[in-house]
Chains A and B, each alone.
Chain A
Amino acid sequence: MASVLKIILQRLALGLLTLLVVSMVIFGAVNLLPGDFAQAILGQGATQEAVEAIRDEIGLNDPFFKRYFDWLGALATGDLGVSYAQMMFATGMGGTTELIPITTQIAPRFYNTMFLAGLTALIAVPVSLLIGVLAALYRGSVFDRVANIFTLSSISSPEFFLAYILILFLAVQGQMLPSLAAVEVGMPLGARIYNSLLPALTLTLVVTAHMMRMTRAAIINLLASPYIEMARLKGVRPMRVIVKHALPNALAPIINVIALNLAYLITGVVVVEVVFTYPGIGNLFVDAVQNRDIPVVQVCCLIFAAAYILLNLTADILSIVTNPRLRHPK
Chain B
Amino acid sequence: MADQSEWLVEMRGIHMEGRSDETWTPIIKGVDLTLKRGEVLGLIGESGAGKSTLGLAAMGFTRDGVRISQGSVTFDGIDLISASAETKRQLLGKRIAYVAQSAAASFNPAHRLIDQHAEAPVQHGVKRRSEAEADAVDLYRKLRLPNPDEIGFRYPHQVSGGQLQRAMTAMAMACRPDLIIFDEPTTALDVTTQIEVLAAIREIVAEFDTAAIYITHDLAVVAQMADRIKVLLKGDEVEEAETRQMLSNPQQDYTKSLWAVREFQRPQKPAPAVDATPVVSVQGVTAAYGKIDVLHDVSFDIHQGRTVAVVGESGSGKSTTARCITGLLPPRKGQIELDGAALPLDYRNRSKEQLRQVQMIYQMADTALNPRQTIGEIIGRPVEFYMGLRGGARRKRVEDLLEQIELPASQYIDRLPSELSGGQKQRIGIARALAAEPKFIICDEVTSALDQLVAEGILRLLARLQDELKLSYMFITHDLATVKSIADEVVVMKDGVVVELGPKTEMFTPPHHAYTDLLLSSVPDMDPDWLTRLLAERGIENIGDAAVGKMH
Which residues of A line the B interface, CB within 8 A?
224-227, 229-237, 240, 244-245, 248-249, 324-325, 328, 330
B261 interfacial contact with A, CB 8 Å? no
Which A residues touch B157, using CB under 8 A?
324-325, 328, 330
Within the complex, which residue of A225, A233, A328 is in contact with B158, where a contact is CB–CB below 8 Å? A328
Within the complex, which residue of A233, A325, A328 is in contact with B92, where a contact is CB–CB below 8 Å? A233
Known: A324-B157, A325-B157, A328-B155. A236 touches B119 (CB 8 A): yes
Known: A235-B124, A328-B158. A227 touches B105 (CB 8 A): yes
B505 interfacial contact with A, CB 8 Å? no
Within the complex, which residue of A224, A231, A232 is in contact with B61, where a contact is CB–CB below 8 Å? A232
B91 interfacial contact with A, CB 8 Å? yes
- Are the CB atoms of A225 and B61 closer together than 8 Å? no
Which B residues touch A245, using CB under 8 A?
108, 110-111
**Nearest 3 A/B pairs, CB to CB:** A234-B93, A235-B92, A235-B93
Known: A227-B107, A234-B119, A249-B109. A330 touches B158 (CB 8 A): yes
Q: For the complex formed, measure the closest distance between the CB of A299 and the CB atoms of chain B, giving whole angstroms.
A: 42
B100-148 at interface with A (beta carbon < 8 Å)? 100, 102, 105-111, 119-120, 123-124
Within the complex, which residue of B91, B106, B119, B124 is in contact with A229, where a contact is CB–CB below 8 Å? B106
Which A residues touch B119, using CB under 8 A?
231, 234, 236
What's the Cα separation between A229 and B61 when bound, in Å?
A: 10
Taking A227-B109, A235-B94, A249-B109 as known contacts, 7 extra A-B pairs with beta carbons closer than 8 A to each other, sorted by chain A number, are: A226-B105, A233-B97, A234-B92, A234-B93, A235-B89, A236-B93, A328-B155
Within the complex, which residue of B94, B110, B124 is in contact with A249, where a contact is CB–CB below 8 Å? B110
Residue ID in chain B nearest A324 by CB atoms: B155
Residue among A226, A232, A234 having the largest count of chain B Cβ atoms under 10 Å: A234
Which B residues touch A227, using CB under 8 A?
105-109
Which A residues touch B64, using CB under 8 A?
224
B63 interfacial contact with A, CB 8 Å? yes
Q: How many A-B residue pairs have CB under 8 A?
A: 77
Q: What are 27 contact pairs spanning A and B, CB under 8 A?
A: A226-B100, A226-B105, A226-B106, A227-B106, A227-B109, A229-B63, A230-B98, A230-B100, A230-B106, A230-B108, A233-B61, A233-B92, A234-B97, A235-B90, A235-B93, A235-B123, A236-B119, A236-B120, A237-B123, A245-B108, A245-B111, A248-B110, A249-B108, A249-B110, A324-B110, A324-B155, A325-B157
Which A residues touch B167, using CB under 8 A?
none
- Are the CB atoms of A230 and B107 closer together than 8 Å? yes
B59 interfacial contact with A, CB 8 Å? yes
What's the Cα separation between A229 and B102 when bound, in Å?
A: 12
Which A residues touch B94, using CB under 8 A?
235
Q: For the complex formed, measure the closest distance between the CB of A239 and the CB atoms of chain B, giving whole angstroms.
A: 12
Residue among A227, A235, A330 having the largest count of chain B Cβ atoms under 10 Å: A235
Residue ID in chain A nearest B171 by CB atoms: A234
Residue ID in chain B nearest A234 by CB atoms: B93
Q: For the complex formed, measure the closest distance between the CB of B100 and the CB atoms of chain A, giving whole angstroms.
A: 6
Q: For the complex formed, measure the closest distance between the CB of A253 and the CB atoms of chain B, giving whole angstroms.
A: 15
Q: For the complex formed, measure the closest distance between the CB of A328 and the CB atoms of chain B, giving whole angstroms.
A: 5
- Are the CB atoms of B63 and A231 closer together than 8 Å? no
Residue ID in chain B nearest A328 by CB atoms: B155
What's the Cα separation between A245 and B156 when bound, in Å?
A: 14
Residue ID in chain A nearest B123 by CB atoms: A236
Q: For the complex formed, measure the closest distance between the CB of A323 and the CB atoms of chain B, giving whole angstroms.
A: 8
Within the complex, which residue of B92, B109, B123 is in contact with A232, where a contact is CB–CB below 8 Å? B92
Which B residues touch A225, using CB under 8 A?
105
What's the Cα separation between A230 and B100 when bound, in Å?
A: 8
What's the Cα separation between A224 and B64 when bound, in Å?
A: 8
What's the Cα separation between A3 and B63 when bound, in Å?
A: 40
Which B residues touch A229, using CB under 8 A?
63, 100, 106
What's the Cα separation between A229 and B101 when bound, in Å?
A: 12
Residue ID in chain B nearest A231 by CB atoms: B108
Which A residues touch B93, using CB under 8 A?
233-236
Q: For the complex formed, measure the closest distance between the CB of B239 and the CB atoms of chain A, giving whole angstroms.
A: 29
Chain B 52-95 interface mask (CB, 8 Å, partner A; 1/0):
00000001010110000000000000000000000011111110
Which A residues touch B105, using CB under 8 A?
225-227
Residue among B92, B106, B108, B154 having the largest count of chain A Cβ atoms under 10 Å: B108
Q: For the complex formed, measure the closest distance between the CB of B169 and the CB atoms of chain A, giving whole angstroms.
A: 13
Q: For the complex formed, measure the closest distance between the CB of A277 and the CB atoms of chain B, giving whole angstroms.
A: 46
What's the Cα separation between A233 and B111 when bound, in Å?
A: 17
What's the Cα separation between A207 and B93 when bound, in Å?
A: 40
- Are the CB atoms of A240 and B123 closer together than 8 Å? yes
Q: For the complex formed, measure the closest distance between the CB of A273 and the CB atoms of chain B, giving whole angstroms.
A: 40
Residue ID in chain B nearest A327 by CB atoms: B155
Residue ID in chain A nearest B102 by CB atoms: A226
Residue among A237, A324, A325 having the largest count of chain B Cβ atoms under 10 Å: A324
Residue ID in chain B nearest A225 by CB atoms: B105
Which B residues touch A240, using CB under 8 A?
123
What's the Cα separation between A230 and B97 when bound, in Å?
A: 9
What's the Cα separation between A245 and B102 when bound, in Å?
A: 17
Residue ID in chain A nearest B98 by CB atoms: A233
What's the Cα separation between A240 and B108 when bound, in Å?
A: 13
What's the Cα separation between A10 and B32 when bound, in Å?
A: 62
What's the Cα separation between A237 and B120 when bound, in Å?
A: 10
Which B residues touch A249, using CB under 8 A?
108-110
What's the Cα separation between A230 and B99 when bound, in Å?
A: 8
Which A residues touch B102, using CB under 8 A?
226
Q: For the complex formed, measure the closest distance between the CB of A244 and the CB atoms of chain B, giving whole angstroms.
A: 8
B271-317 at interface with A (beta carbon < 8 Å)? none
What's the Cα separation between A328 and B155 when bound, in Å?
A: 8
What's the Cα separation between A140 and B108 when bound, in Å?
A: 26
What's the Cα separation between A324 and B154 when bound, in Å?
A: 10
What's the Cα separation between A227 and B88 when bound, in Å?
A: 19
Residue ID in chain A nearest B107 by CB atoms: A227
Which A residues touch B120, using CB under 8 A?
234-236
Q: For the complex formed, measure the closest distance between the CB of A90 and the CB atoms of chain B, giving whole angstroms.
A: 60
Residue ID in chain A nearest B61 by CB atoms: A233
- Are the CB atoms of A324 and B100 closer together than 8 Å? no
Residue ID in chain B nearest A251 by CB atoms: B110
B481-507 at interface with A (beta carbon < 8 Å)? none
Residue ID in chain B nearest A247 by CB atoms: B110
What's the Cα separation between A224 and B158 when bound, in Å?
A: 23
Q: For the complex formed, measure the closest distance between the CB of A320 and the CB atoms of chain B, giving whole angstroms.
A: 14
Residue ID in chain B nearest A329 by CB atoms: B158
Q: For the complex formed, measure the closest distance between the CB of B373 and the CB atoms of chain A, giving whole angstroms.
A: 28
Q: For the complex formed, measure the closest distance between the CB of A163 and the CB atoms of chain B, giving whole angstroms.
A: 40
What's the Cα separation between A115 and B153 when bound, in Å?
A: 42
What's the Cα separation between A224 and B100 when bound, in Å?
A: 14
What's the Cα separation between A240 and B122 when bound, in Å?
A: 13
Which B residues touch A328, using CB under 8 A?
154-155, 157-158
What's the Cα separation between A234 and B97 when bound, in Å?
A: 7
- Are the CB atoms of A237 and B89 closer together than 8 Å? yes
Residue among B61, B64, B91, B111 having the largest count of chain A Cβ atoms under 10 Å: B111
Residue ID in chain A nearest B110 by CB atoms: A248
What's the Cα separation between A230 and B106 when bound, in Å?
A: 6
Which A residues touch B171, using CB under 8 A?
234
Which B residues touch A325, using CB under 8 A?
109, 155, 157
Which A residues touch B107, using CB under 8 A?
227, 230
Q: For the complex formed, measure the closest distance between the CB of B398 and the CB atoms of chain A, giving whole angstroms.
A: 38
Q: For the complex formed, measure the closest distance between the CB of A255 and the CB atoms of chain B, giving whole angstroms.
A: 14
Which B residues touch A230, using CB under 8 A?
98, 100, 106-108
Residue among B107, B110, B111 having the largest count of chain A Cβ atoms under 10 Å: B110
Which A residues touch B61, using CB under 8 A?
232-233
What's the Cα separation between A158 and B285 when bound, in Å?
A: 67
Residue ID in chain B nearest A224 by CB atoms: B64
What's the Cα separation between A237 and B100 when bound, in Å?
A: 20
Residue ID in chain A nearest B59 by CB atoms: A233
Q: For the complex formed, measure the closest distance between the CB of B268 and the CB atoms of chain A, giving whole angstroms.
A: 43
What's the Cα separation between A324 and B110 when bound, in Å?
A: 6
Chain B 162-181 interface mask (CB, 8 Å, partner A; 1/0):
00000000010000000000
What's the Cα separation between A227 and B115 when bound, in Å?
A: 14
Q: For the complex formed, measure the closest distance between the CB of B477 and the CB atoms of chain A, giving whole angstroms.
A: 26
